[in-house]
Amino acid sequence: MYLYNSATHKKELFTTHTPGRVEMYTCGPTVYHFAHIGNLRSYIMEDALEKYLRYEGYDVNRVMNITDVGHLSGDSDAGEDKMLMGARREHKSVMEIAQFYTDAFFDDCRKLNIKTPDTVQPATGLIPEFIAMVQGLLDKGYAYLAGGNVYFDTSKLTRYHIFFDHDEEDLQVGVREGVEEDTNKRNKNDFVLWFTKSKFEDQALKWDSPWGVGYPGWHIECSAISLKYNGEYLDLHCGGIDNAFPHHTNEIAQSESYLGHPWCPQWFHVHHLNTDSGKMSKSKGEFLTVSLLEEKGYDPLAYRFFCLQSHYRKALVFSWENLDNAAGAYRKLIARIAALKPDDGPVDGAVLEAARQKFIKAVGNDLNTSLGVTAVYDALKADANDATRLAIIGDYDRVLSLSLLEKAAQKREDDARLSAGASTSAGITVTGEGDPAIDALVLKRAEAKKARNFAEADRIRDELRAQGVELTDTPTGVVWKRV
């Protein structure tokens, strides 16, 4: 597989420290609110990457954190803890907020066919490991105490900015304009490894440490969690592009300083989902969630399909029109797959293997999921029987995870049930949900149309619409359903 590496700014042949095994880490959510669909785009693409690596035959160990303490609203060391903000907003404890939104996140993942990582670790469950790593950085001279807090000293590094090249003097410039200066820092890009009460008197979660009662900084948790569950050599680190700086930059700084050797060679960053007004954000009032999509009648997998049609390194623009187009294309794709006959002879193994190699070549070029979706359409036209075509599509769906065969099977069942409930009169076939009274009205309307009594036909349609019945005229008759 060739994969773009954010650390080297080029596409590279993917390799691992241990042949055949991938140690993979994903930055998880800060569970102070629902994940919006922009957040979930990253997890969809990371899920596709993990599944593709497994498809190629790798043994993947994927680890993800849950941030339930220490993530400040400024993403660096500014603002207040997001978990405390969530607790105040809903008049609950921080841990109640954390549990509720952790459950909500994984419920969204389930609806989007996102696999749960092999290890999921909340930050609050690994405080001793964080303290040990901070102490190790102090012992090695990469950290210092100031104002009651422990800071990482970026001046000890030969290169701090990994993902974005900066001049040396840029290291003395604050991360964000307008951020209140922390006078305890020796260098503007230094970052907090451990806060004590000198930062916030009202912090809800705090623990004893050698430096006083306090809590960990946001960045230390990912390094320590990965070291515990992935080991000293991480192969692949994933996250949204907004995490590249300062979060991932700081992870590299502290991890390599602590270990004394290179840590993670390959970085995978998913770009933003934007709206017409810019980057999607929780701070802009109402934000788009999976639940909102469902309320508006969308299958969550139509959103996954929408994401897979675009490349992960390109910003994706969300609009309801764009989602409508994707949802319509997804429904039509399911209908085409449902038209295939599962018992149409044996599967041709040679054709299946050739299709598999074609898929590997397409998607293995920097996780090109758009070409993966195109491969499904190609499979529908393959020179093979229907059973082989279905086997190819099922094989591809191990990576795409669009539930293509399951939804196609369900459509076949639904179509058969509707067909069994069809009634015919005077050459007109009515297919519906088995209600004789509705069937009679639909037939009466069809007869009125046949007699060119369009006023009566329209009146009956309006009467049915008032009852919540939708009609669709087809070449073979009329189909009705309740909406």
DSSP for 166-195, please give it: --GGGGGS-SSTTPPP-TT-SSTT-EEEEE
pLDDT grade, residue 176 (50/70/90)?
Answer: very low
- Encode pLDDT of 301-356 as tens digits: 999 999 999 999 999 999 999 999 999 999 999 999 999 999 999 999 999 999 99
Contact 406, 366 (CB under 8 A): no
The token pair that represents 254 in the structure block: 């502290």
Helix 386-400 × helix 349-363 angle, to 10°: 30
Element holding 139 (H helix, E strand): helix 127-139
Three-class DSSP category at 413: helix
CA distance 96 to 68: 10
* 3-state class (DSSP) for residue 271: coil
Instruction: Residue count of the chain, please give it.
Output: 483
Q: Across 201-358, where does the E strand assignment appear?
A: 214-216, 236-240, 266-270, 273-275, 278-279, 316-317
Choose between 339 and 92: higher pLDDT: 339
According to the model, what pLDDT value does residue 55 have? 98
Architecture of domain 283-415: Up-down Bundle (1.20)
> Over the stretch 360-396, which tens digit does the pLDDT of each residue have?
999 999 999 999 999 999 999 999 999 999 999 999 9
- The helix/strand/coil state of 72 is strand
**What's the rounded Cα separation, in Å, for the pair 219 and 154?**
14
Q: Name every residue whose Cβ is closer than 8 Å to that of residue 403 and which is 6 or more positions away in sequence.
A: 113, 301, 397
pTM, full prediction: 0.85
Give per-residue pLDDT as tens, 187-225.
999 999 999 865 656 677 889 999 999 999 999 999 999
Sheet holding 59-66, edge to edge: 119-122, 59-66, 21-26, 236-240, 266-270
What was the pLDDT predicted at 442?
A: 87
- Dig out the tokens for 114 from the structure: 């996102």
pLDDT > 60? residue 101: yes
Phi/psi of residue 473, nearest 5 degrees: -85, 130
- Bridge partners of residue 22, in order along the sequence: 60
Q: Which residue has the higher pLDDT, 180 or 157?
A: 157
Query: Is a pLDDT exceeding 90 seen at residue 426?
Result: no
Residue 122 phi/psi, 5-degree rounding, is -65, 145
- Alpha-carbon distance of 87 to 32, in angstroms, equals 8
Q: Are 68 and 124 in contact (CB under 8 A)?
A: yes
For the chain, domain boundaries: 2-270, 283-415, 421-482
Q: Residue 166: pLDDT above 60?
A: no
What sign results for the dihedral spanned by CA atoms 103, 107, 112, 115? positive
CA torsion 453→458→464→469, rounded to 10°?
110
Strand partners, 478: 430, 473
Rounded CA-CA distance 241/155 in Å is: 25
Name the nearest CA neighbour of 192 among 85, 76, 66, 80: 76
Dist. CA 411–CA 252, nearest whole Å:
49
The stretches of 296-348 forming alpha helices (DSSP H) are: 300-308, 320-338
Contacts of 48 (CB under 8 A, 6+ apart): 308, 367, 369, 399, 400, 401
**Residue-by-residue DSSP string for 6-62:** TTTTEEEE---SSTTEEEEEE---BTTSPPPHHHHHHHHHHHHHHHHHHHTT-EEEE
Distance from C-alpha of 249 to C-alpha of 253, rounded to nearest angstrom: 6
Q: What CATH number does domain 2-270 carry, 3.10.310.10, 3.40.50.2300, 1.20.1090.10, 3.40.50.620?
A: 3.40.50.620
Average pLDDT (411-433) is 69
Q: Which residue has the tokens 């299958």?
A: 299
Per-residue confidence (pLDDT) for residue 443, from 0 to 100: 87
Q: Which residue has the tokens 């933003």?
A: 272
pLDDT band of 181, cuts 50, 70, 90: low
